[in-house]
Amino acid sequence: MSNLINPFIQIRRDLHQIPEKGFQETKTQGYLLSYIQNLPQDHIEIKTWETGIFVKVQGTNPTKTIGYRADIDGLPIQEETGLPFPSLHEGMMHACGHDMHMSIALGILTHFSQYPATDNILFMFQPAEEGPGGALPMIQSDIFKAWKPDMIVALHIAPEYPVGTIATKQGLLFANTSELFIDLKGRGGHAAYPHQTNDMVVAACSLVTQLQTVIARNVDPLDSAVITVGKITGGTVQNIIAERARLEGTIRTLSVESMKKVKERIEALVHGVEVGYNCQTTIDYGSMYHQVDNDPALTEEFMQYVSENTNVRVVECKEAMTGEDYGYMIENIPGFMFWLGAESPYGLHHSKLNPNEDAIGVAISIIISYFNFKAN
């Protein structure tokens, strides 16, 4: 495998320079297709979907299909890594490691295009993981239905773990997540005549405070949930009372039931603000991601296999409030996701994230070995 690993570090660097928003990954798709089309074509079939790609590697004597998913989009973050191969797209960065994910997938695909396993392997290069969500529509596509795998595997880089370590767990790994957008519309006016207005900055501030009570007073303390308001906008200048305000945030829960309860409480509070401040309100939940719930048997098997057959350290981690639309892929198909140690001092979604590229070779070797085990 050593001759297959180093080239994928350069591929990662190439992809790092062209991060694109969800469903706008045209350069990324073009780069991936160019590489894949230069692989041996005897055993592979390629189909595009939106800005994503399906690649099916035909097995030598298949009885099932093993799926592997890699996400391909970037984030609207201005890069500050100081790397010699920085993003060439202003205001965009691969700050979540999807450049690493793609290069790893290409490494695995390269091996199986040359040395097919007994069973079929389906590679899915999925767009729009960061938003608005590509996994759900991708698995609803006719291509996926025709090539539907019997199990699916995915990974995510983890800056907090050293290279040579993977971490995962049976059952719930990542939370249910939902975006949250609340718009308030009242009556603006001159700052000298507040009695003639309905101030939406005041209403918005009151609502932010009230939202913090949802978790403290409506969610079982033995459960976990988060509401974060990350952005508030309202008003135009200092001496005009604001006619409009907007809150933008996120909801994260460890159960579907808690997500429903949290949203019901948010809606009640927003209605109360509407009445109390004599204004109009709208709520938009934006992109909603299903929890990543690892198949217990497959996850246990994978952890045991890696522990016994590789030099990689396996850690049983705790569930995280991280969101991942991969959860839709394993909602009805057995599968799992694991963290790949990539030791960076800066975390995911940080402008200085700089994963250790040695993790690429570790992941390629692990997945090739495990897939050969599963396919024979």
Q: At what angle do helices 98-114 and 2-16 cross, to 10 degrees?
A: 140
Q: Which residues are CB-contacts of 21 (< 8 A; sequence separation ≥ 6)?
A: 73, 74, 76, 92, 130
Catalytic annotation on 79?
Answer: no
- Select which of 25, 119, 130, 274 is catalytic: 130
Compute the C-alpha angle 247/248/254, nearest 5°.
Answer: 120
Catalytic annotation on 130?
Answer: yes
Tokens of 234: 């309202």
Q: What is the dihedral of CA 91, 130, 4, 47, to 10 degrees?
A: -110
CB-hemisphere CA count at 13 Å for 76?
Answer: 5
Would you call 194 helix, strand, or coil by DSSP? helix
- Select which of 20, 25, 71, 179 is catalytic: 71
Q: At what angle do helices 256-276 and 200-218 cross, to 10 degrees?
A: 150
Q: At what angle do helices 2-16 and 358-374 cross, to 10 degrees?
A: 120
Whole-angstrom Cα Rg for the chain: 23
For the chain, how many residues are written? 376
300 and 338 Cβ atoms separated by less than 8 Å: no
- Which residues does the annotation mark as catalytic? 71, 130
